[in-house]
Structure 1
């Protein structure tokens, strides 16, 4: 296959894998909607994911990297839905105010930043600045599971582990790393390479953790 075909293949596969990651939270939020109980769910990674998706939509649209636009539109919409369900179900008014304020300030900053770039910066520098910005946000999201590992160690629980999801994240990162390499866009490639390195041992570690708990 020639290069153009590989670009299309990796683009489609990357969109599929990321869509699976986004949609995997549906059962959790369906349960929250039904029970009106958020439990100990940490909603902030979803807030970060929403903003990160918005930045990639802007980057893909302004810099003509169409492969990252569709799935990030999907991710942005579903994360908005997840956050709305969380806020409607949570009985902790103080937490709701904190989440709402954090989300409002975060998204307001994102929108303002993107608009300022669009109006005041030349296209070449837009791609550089927005590319770095997207890479940093994606890296933050990639490392956010560290907080879940802290919770699991503290509670001695494997409830939130998913070996399958770790494997899907690994496939997603690998696919988008190849896609970024093929289109010579290192802002797409580098954060996904970081994600692959970070996620590479997770399925094995998750299995070891579960086996250890079972013993």
Structure 2
């Protein structure tokens, strides 16, 4: 007989695969940027927002913060690496105010996450308090990550083209949210549940 933990692990693995697909879905955009040597009208905001979200969930998944969250830790470590590569490519092929904006956001994120990690480890001494503090931050920045693509909506309306809002990213986001919601309900995790409800709202907005 399959245990509850076994089912949860299976759902979590499926969630990891779908999440990986979501993280990789902007690749055509960055291949285009690489070929044209220009970021054109693409915005850095969704990618730095996603990077921040991944780094915070990585912190949440650490054994010293929220034990038994290995799948949360691994997928967000992978997501951080992928989003970091997008940000670096954007910095390379942007210039002027766009590059300055991207660099400022990126550096601010690194300082912020490092500060949060130090505060959590030194000021909170139980898993419950660490999970609560980091979990609240994860939900806040999850809102930023899932609402950041809405900044592209104005461009879509102006150009009457969806080239700046890939459909695959939206579909992957939906199935990612569905899978992780199931994962969070099997062994209830408030913060994962709330964040994935937000994801569902973002998908419906498209």
TM-score over 0.5 (shorter chain): yes
After TM superposition, give the deviation of residue 77 of structure 1 in Å.
0.7
Larger radius of gyration: 1
What runs of 5+ residues in structure 1 fail to find an aligned partner?
Answer: 203-215
Equivalent residues in 2 for 1:198-213 (5 A)? 198-200=202-204, 202=206
Q: Do structure 1's residue 118 and structure 2's residue 131 form an aligned pair?
A: no
Residue 103 of structure 1 pairs with residue 106 of structure 2: yes
Aligned residue for 1:9?
10
Partner residue, 2:150: 146
Please give the root-mean-square deviation of Cα atoms over the aligned residues, in Å. 1.5
**Residue among 184, 190, 196 paired with 2:188:** 184
In the alignment, which residue of structure 2 is the partner of 1:158? 162
Partner of 1:41: 42
- 1:76 matched to which residue of 2? 80
Q: Distance in 2 between matches of 1:115 and 1:185?
A: 24
* Equivalences for residues 42-57 of structure 1 within 5 A: 42-57=43-58
Distance 1:185 1:59 in 2: 12
* Cα distance in 2 for residues equivalent to 1:28 and 1:154: 19
How many residue pairs get aligned? The number is: 201
- What per-residue deviation string (whole Å, max 9, x for no partner) do you get for residues 160-201 of structure 1? 344333222111101101111112111111110221233146
In 2, Cα distance between equivalents of 1:45 and 1:201: 16
How far, CA to CA, are the matches of 1:38 and 1:141 in structure 2?
20
Q: 1:190 to 1:12 in 2, by over 3 A?
A: same
Go from structure 1 to structure 2 and tell me whether the alpha carbon gap of 1:25 and 1:198 turns closer, same or farther (over 3 Å shift).
closer
User: What is the aligned partner in structure 1 of residue 60 from structure 2?
Assistant: 59
Moved over 4 A (4+): none
Q: Distance in 1 between matches of 2:191 and 2:145?
A: 15
- Structure 1, residues 38-77: CA drift from partner, whole Å, max 9, x if none? 1101012111111110110110012122221111111101
Moved more, 61-70 or 12-21: 61-70
